[in-house]
Structure 1
Amino acid sequence: MSHRRRLLPGLPAFEAAARLNNFTRAAEELHLTHGAISRAIAQLEERLGTPLFVRHPRRVSLTPAGYRLLEATRNAFAELDRAADEIGRGDSADPLLRVSCEPTLSMRWLMPRLGRLRQRHPELQVELSTAGGPIDLNANGCDLAIRRLDFTPPQEAVIDVLCPELAGPVCHPECWVGMLGQDLNRARWLHSRTRPSAWSDWCRMADHPYQPASEQSYDHFYFTLQAALDQLGTAIGPLPLVYDDLQAGRLTAPFGMRPTGVDYVMLTPPEGQSDQRTQRFADWLRSEAAHMARFEPASTRPHSAGLETDG
């Protein structure tokens, strides 16, 4: 039987006892009995033919052989942790790329563009999950996350700004010209419970005391924008969430778009910088965001209401 197979069963007990200098605390950490820890280490010492610890009344200390084994054990455990992290995220040779994205951004901007990614990188397979807010990339098994950065990002994440968020009132073109007569005070303001301050934030940026004719709230921002498309009212539409609708003329932004002070970003773990799959996807994502920043649909320019588009 090889040394590896003979040593493996006792190494977790040895590492915990060596790190804590105490068999009892090691037993508590590993949810074992004191006797189980003592037996595992005794068997390890017997197999190696040398003591690993000096036993003191209330603690233990390592012998020279114990220090040597502890160094090797820590290196082995660190390598196991790295391998587990890579497996959790997907090996770099695996074409499957695990991406987490804000739900509305996924539906209204990212997914309509994934066909272009497939044409450019047919070897990549994107597994898309939808979530917003803070994320632990390793714990969630994600290679990359796309977020509206309205939270403090994790310190270990690499942050790449994709584009600033611009926002303004949006509605169906026929609704603006016909039903509202180009008067925002006659509009039904559509709210989202996930962004309840969107209208008040925009009014403050516009520095104008607009008042709605009526108001309606929806549980999610996606439904608010869909209601605007269906001529049920006027919503605050952020780019990039309404970009395709403005470009196609399905929505109009009669007051233009103003920066909200929030960015859309890409978050990757440090090791993602050397992952070819992540970098190919990231390069494509940057090009899509840059294309949107360069092109301003006519419907994002201010209407006769007299407000200027910033940024």
Structure 2
Amino acid sequence: MNKIHTKRRLPPLGSLTAFEAAARHQSFSRAAEELHLTHGAISRAVAQIEERIGVALFVRRNRRVYLTAAGQRLLKTTTETLDALGNTVEEIHRHDIESPFLVVSCEPSLAMRWLMPRLGGFREKYPELNVDLRMAGGPIDLLYEGCDVAIRRSDFGIQEDYRISHLCTESAGPVCTQDYWTNTIQHNLNKANWLHSRTRPNAWDDWKTEAFNRTQIPDKTLPQSEQYFDHFFYSLQAAQNQLGIAIGSTPLVSDDLSHNRLIAPFGMTPTGCDYVLISLDGAIQDPRIEAFNQWLIKTMNKGE
């Protein structure tokens, strides 16, 4: 059988992706920004396709590009194909329920101070599952990062197509050691060294507003000194080491409070944020994710 007509002479996938972005935006510059490429790279990709198929895809006028009839036809097919590829990759990723590994992205402070000490308990209950823990915070593209789920504090927008499961409500308040509170500053916040985190720069201001509204502190409450740390868990460790008083939150300081390593002299009040589990699963559930989700909810809300 003569196979000369069955050979696929398709342009490279990268070129088609560049073409689709340029056609959608009607701009090579905006396509370059979206794909983190240069204007020249987009132009070369389009030229490669035009050379392969032998027709022009764009008409260039006044620094703008407009699709030709051939370009419109190719855009329709390219968009449908890229969407189909994306859907297939997502389905394969999120329904690989036979994998013994569950890839979990978790905010570093929560991972270090709450999740990692409890993963042994999860392993005992589900010995067939291995949690591959990756520390990261903020928005996440689960497919791009290769993660099954992400544990996040709900202080940013989450994509609509993600499934969101509520884990627990966050509460916060000043925390320090009993000795620092009683002997060093003698129950007086004005004598304290306030510990700040650059990842939660407004934590003290938010708590002061809430505490003043509840008449727990005077309006003029100010620190004697202040100290800044790059991450939230550093400020909490500094408080545990009696360097000052920090804003701590549950569940991050739950163990410290229950074991009297830290105290919360003003109690803990809701911050308006929740901890959530983000996943790709919709109607068809991955039993690995469901097991992890239910374990998280039970463990967090029992205070274990």
TM-score range, shorter chain: 0.7 to 0.9
- Give the AA of the match of 1:34: E
Partner residue, 2:184: 179
The answer on 1:141 being equivalent to 2:157 is no
| 1:40-79 correspondence runs (5 A) | 59=69
The answer on 1:255 being equivalent to 2:244 is no
The answer on 1:32 being equivalent to 2:48 is yes
1:107 CA displacement = 0.4
CA contact (8 A) 1:172 1:231 kept: yes
CA distance in 2 between partners of 1:145 and 1:120 (Å) = 21
Identify the match of residue 156 of structure 1 among 157, 161, 180: 161
Larger Rg: 1
The answer on 1:200 being equivalent to 2:205 is yes
CA distance in 2 between partners of 1:194 and 1:255 (Å) = 23
- Give the AA of the match of 2:248: G
1:242 CA displacement = 0.4
CA distance in 2 between partners of 1:216 and 1:60 (Å) = 63
1:133 CA displacement = 1.0
CA contact (8 A) 1:90 1:96 kept: no
1:223 CA displacement = 0.8
Identify the match of residue 234 of structure 2 among 214, 223, 226: 223
- Provide the secondary structure at the position in 2 that maps to 1:224: helix
Partner residue, 1:276: 287
Instruction: Summarize the Cα distance change of 1:175–1:100 in structure 2 as closer, same or farther, 3 Å threshold.
Output: same
Partner residue, 1:167: 172
1:193 CA displacement = 1.3
1:157 CA displacement = 1.1
CA distance in 1 between partners of 2:238 and 2:2 (Å) = 68
Number of aligned residues: 259
Instruction: Summarize the Cα distance change of 1:275–1:31 in structure 2 as closer, same or farther, 3 Å threshold.
Output: farther
Instruction: Summarize the Cα distance change of 1:35–1:109 in structure 2 as closer, same or farther, 3 Å threshold.
Output: same
CA distance in 2 between partners of 1:163 and 1:277 (Å) = 20
Instruction: Summarize the Cα distance change of 1:104–1:92 in structure 2 as closer, same or farther, 3 Å threshold.
Output: same
TM-score by length of 1: 0.72
Partner residue, 1:64: none
Instruction: Summarize the Cα distance change of 1:9–1:120 in structure 2 as closer, same or farther, 3 Å threshold.
Output: farther
1:156 CA displacement = 1.0
How high is the sequence identity, in percent, across the aligned residues? 45
1:12 CA displacement = 8.2
RMSD: 3.4
- Provide the secondary structure at the position in 2 that maps to 1:109: helix
- Give the AA of the match of 1:257: M
Instruction: Summarize the Cα distance change of 1:32–1:146 in structure 2 as closer, same or farther, 3 Å threshold.
Output: same
Does 1 or 2 have the higher relative contact order (CA < 8 Å, sep 6+)?
2
Identify the match of residue 131 of structure 1 among 136, 142, 158: 136
1:84 CA displacement = 2.7
Identify the match of residue 114 of structure 2 among 109, 127, 147: 109
| 1:74-89 correspondence runs (5 A) | 80-86=85-91, 88=93
- Give the AA of the match of 1:258: T
Partner residue, 1:239: 250
